Amino acid sequence: MNEAVLKNARNRSTQNQSQKKTSGIVQKKRMNREDFVVKSILFLCAMVSILTTIGIVAVLLVETLSFFKDVSLLAFLTDTKWTPLFKPEHFGILALLSGSVLITLGASLVALPLGLMTAIYLSEYADDRVRRVIKPILEVLAGIPTIVYGYFALTFVTPLLRVISPDMGVFNALSASIVVGIMILPMVASLSEDAMVSVPKSLRNGAYSLGATRLEVARKVVVPAAFSGIISSFVLAISRAIGETMIVTIAAGATPKLTLNPLESVQTMTAYIVQVSLGDIQHGSIEYKTIFAVGMTLFILTFLINLIAQWLKRRFKEEY
Amino acid sequence: MGQGNWRIRKITDRFAKIAFLCATLFGIAFLGVLLYRIVADGAGWLNWDFFTNFSSRFPAKAGVAAALVGSIWIVLLTGPIAFFLGVGTALYLEEYTKKSWFTRLIQVNIHNLAGVPSIVYGILGLAVFVQGLMLGQAVLAGVFTMSLLVLPIIVVSSQEAIRSVPQHMRNASYALGASKWQTISRVVIPTALPNILTGVILALSRAIGETAPLVVVGALTFVAFVPASPMDPFTVLPIQIFNWTSRPQDDFRAIAAAGIIVLLVVLLTMNLLAVYLRNKYQKRY
């Protein structure tokens, strides 16, 4: 490739020698125009991402506002039943929200401790050889499509749980929570580990020279120093769990209800959107609009959580 | 500190190490069991007919032909679109503008988009591409939706790739009288290409595994034909697997597992290709 540039430059210099000064100016103008065209095209590419955000907000807003012409905001926020697909219709988002919250809580109980412990093991205990084996395996775990996790939740984890607790239904929040937890575990582990690895060696050595054990170094030096990164990995993982769709659609069931009992079948916001999309929905009908109202709630929720993650990262950032 | 205290701390440390190791092994064990179960459930159903048959009411006659072709359509069309938009955005941010409030806005915006749940992209696609542009429930609507979904991943990885091209290579090109675009198209892009492609392939492997946005966009669950053009209705592998998984019969669960094996093999191939590209062409400057 460098040869091409060279050749081009050579051509140009011979051209310049043979032609008069004016042609140099013409060429410069041509280059300016080229520069302008390229820059404009690239600018348009960059605008696509801005337009995507505007598009998401606009689409959700328009249909949600139209939804609230038929359903009062108060009923949406306070009603405890969600039954838009059959009479009597209820539009209480709390029934779906509690499903999402329940799954996310359960997933966090699995993923946050395990993820943090994995990160501590990888960054403080494991030697390079072990790390080179384990990290790619975690990447594979992170790359598995959620539909595969969903299949596994329904066909393996649920039957296993039903051996322990036989009166539990086929569709239950517990199985989905555990598997969503496993799905977000690699994210917690790898982001927390990144934060821990960037803690300077000198801090650790200072503690070791005072006679601290590895555990004490991890607990009292590394984790506090990497706190901002660890917390933001937690929050990002929670946001992923709320937006998770296929595992909960397959394993948690389709019964929206206001409960925090993990043995029951629930429906999350995401699973509801899938359920409606699978059916034949009339464009412009109230069922169609519920997708957008639920989507809006989901979008606002994850957006706020992501903002919190960014804020926490800046707020607790330690500079070395 | 007394001798006894030291021993207790030492023992605690030993136990903690075992606990941390167990936590790490839990994830790995889970992966092992998952892969084992899927191969055990589905391997028996894999044969040539499985690749050439369409979905059917009878498990023995069901196959992934329509879904596999649908997934290939999605990847082949999403790839170039997302590549063009993503690399264009990255070039604009890295080469064509100085840091300003506007580039910061784009950057923050891209990071936020990366955190938007994939199903929300599906809603966007439904309203804008299926209804707004009247594409209907066609391959193209799915392609556009997927392109937007993977765009943030490609932009971020392309930016890193472009940033890793050393400044002296650009300077050498300018010194020879090359214009900005000549420098970018003949020096920067070729040098950064292996890393860019690695990012694009990883982003596409994300797109192949996505189910939810395409369900919302309206990919069908029962397709008995191969989509012949981008305007045809379609289904993809994950949706076909979802459909089989949600049926109560054990045999359908088993062919779902067979479908998963096909999906995982496709993903594995793409990931190996990405690793190969990275190792073969990666140079350090």
Task: Specify whether A134 is located in the same domain as A229.
Answer: yes
Q: What is the band of A20 on the pLDDT scale with cuts at 50, 70, 90?
A: very low
A vs B: CB pairs below 8 A:
276
Task: Specify whether A101 is located in the same domain as A161.
Answer: yes
The predicted model gives B157-169 an average pLDDT of: 92
Nearest CB partner across the interface for A122, out of B24, B126, B180: B24
User: What digits encode the pLDDT tens for the residues A33-78?
Assistant: 888 888 899 999 999 999 999 999 999 999 999 989 888 888 888 8
Task: Specify whether A250 is located in the same domain as A110.
Answer: yes
- Put simply, whether B20 touches A (Cβ < 8 Å) is yes
Instruction: Give chain B positions within 8 Å (CB) of A274.
Output: 119, 212, 215-216
Q: Give pLDDT, residue A1.
A: 40
- Put simply, whether B43 touches A (Cβ < 8 Å) is no
Predicted TM-score (pTM) of this structure:
0.87
Instruction: Give chain B positions within 8 Å (CB) of A40.
Output: none
Nearest CB partner across the interface for A154, out of B26, B186, B245: B245
The reply to whether residue A213 touches residue B152, judged by beta carbons under 8 angstroms, is no
CA–CA distance from A130 to each of A108, A159, A237, B32 (Å)?
Answer: 26, 33, 25, 17
Query: Chain B: residue nearest A271 by CA?
Result: B212
User: What digits encode the pLDDT tens for the residues A92-142?
Assistant: 888 889 999 999 999 999 999 999 999 999 999 988 898 888 888 888 888
User: What digits encode the pLDDT tens for the residues A250-284?
Assistant: 998 888 888 888 888 889 999 999 988 888 777 77
How far apart (Å, rounded) are the C-alpha atoms in residues A79 and A83?
11
Task: Specify whether A61 is located in the same domain as A156.
Answer: no
How far apart (Å, rounded) are the C-alpha atoms in residues B235 and B146?
14
- Whether residue A79 lies inside any domain: the answer is no
Q: How many residues does chain B have?
A: 285
Nearest alpha-carbon partner for B230 in B137, B139, B129? B139
Q: For the domain B50-281, what is the CATH code?
A: 1.10.3720.10
- Whether residue A208 lies inside any domain: the answer is yes
Q: Which tokens sit at A228? A: 């901002």
Residue from A42, A135, A179 to probe the interface with B (highest B Cβ count within 10 Å): A42
How far apart (Å, rounded) are the C-alpha atoms in residues B157 and B114?
12
Task: Specify whether A194 is located in the same domain as A280.
Answer: yes
Say how many CA atoms lie within 13 Å of A312 toward its Cβ.
17
Q: Give pLDDT, residue A320.
A: 63
Cis before A88 (ω within 30): yes
Instruction: Give chain B positions within 8 Å (CB) of A4.
Output: 186
Backbone angles phi, psi at A82, to 5 degrees: -130, 100
The predicted model gives B164-170 an average pLDDT of: 91
For residues A134 and A226, the answer to whether their CB atoms sit within 8 Å is no
Query: Chain B: residue nearest A34 by CA?
Result: B181
Least confident of A56-70, A169-183, A294-308, B38-52: B38-52
Query: Chain A: residue nearest B127 by CA?
Result: A59
Farthest CA pair distance, chain A: 93
Task: Specify whether A195 is located in the same domain as A239.
Answer: yes
Task: Specify whether A109 is located in the same domain as A162.
Answer: yes
For residues A60 and A296, the answer to whether their CB atoms sit within 8 Å is yes
How far apart (Å, rounded) are the C-alpha atoms in residues A105 and A114?
14
Task: Specify whether A99 is located in the same domain as A63.
Answer: no
The reply to whether residue B209 touches residue A145, judged by beta carbons under 8 angstroms, is yes
- Put simply, whether B78 touches A (Cβ < 8 Å) is no
C-alpha Rg value of chain A to the nearest Å: 27
Q: Which domain CATH number covers A206?
A: 1.10.3720.10
Residue indicated by tokens 């429906």: A267
For residues A49 and B109, the answer to whether their CB atoms sit within 8 Å is yes
How far apart (Å, rounded) are the C-alpha atoms in residues B167 and A178?
48
Task: Specify whether A59 is located in the same domain as A104.
Answer: no
CA–CA distance from A106 to each of A149, A160, A163, A275 (Å)?
Answer: 16, 17, 20, 22
The reply to whether residue B106 touches residue A41, judged by beta carbons under 8 angstroms, is no
Query: What percent of chain A is modeled with pLDDT above 90?
Result: 46
Instruction: Give chain A positions within 8 Å (CB) of B199.
Output: none
Instruction: Give chain B positions within 8 Å (CB) of A122.
Output: 24
Indicate the SS3 state at residue A74.
helix
Q: B180 to chain A nearest CA, in Å?
A: 7
Nearest alpha-carbon partner for A149 in A248, A241, A236? A248
- Whether residue A155 lies inside any domain: the answer is yes
Task: Specify whether A154 is located in the same domain as A231.
Answer: yes
Say how many CA atoms lie within 13 Å of A184 toward its Cβ.
32
Structural domain boundaries in chain B: 3-45, 50-281
Total number of domains constituting chain A: 2
CA–CA distance from B16 to each of A109, A218, A294 (Å)?
Answer: 19, 10, 44
Indicate the DSSP class of residue A221: I
Task: Specify whether A285 is located in the same domain as A247.
Answer: yes
- Whether residue A302 lies inside any domain: the answer is yes
User: What digits encode the pLDDT tens for the residues B229-249?
Assistant: 778 888 889 999 998 888 888
Q: A315 to chain B nearest CA, in Å?
A: 17
Residue from B38, B124, B174 to probe the interface with A (highest A Cβ count within 10 Å): B124
Higher pLDDT, A169 or A20: A169
Give the structural domain span for A26.
22-70
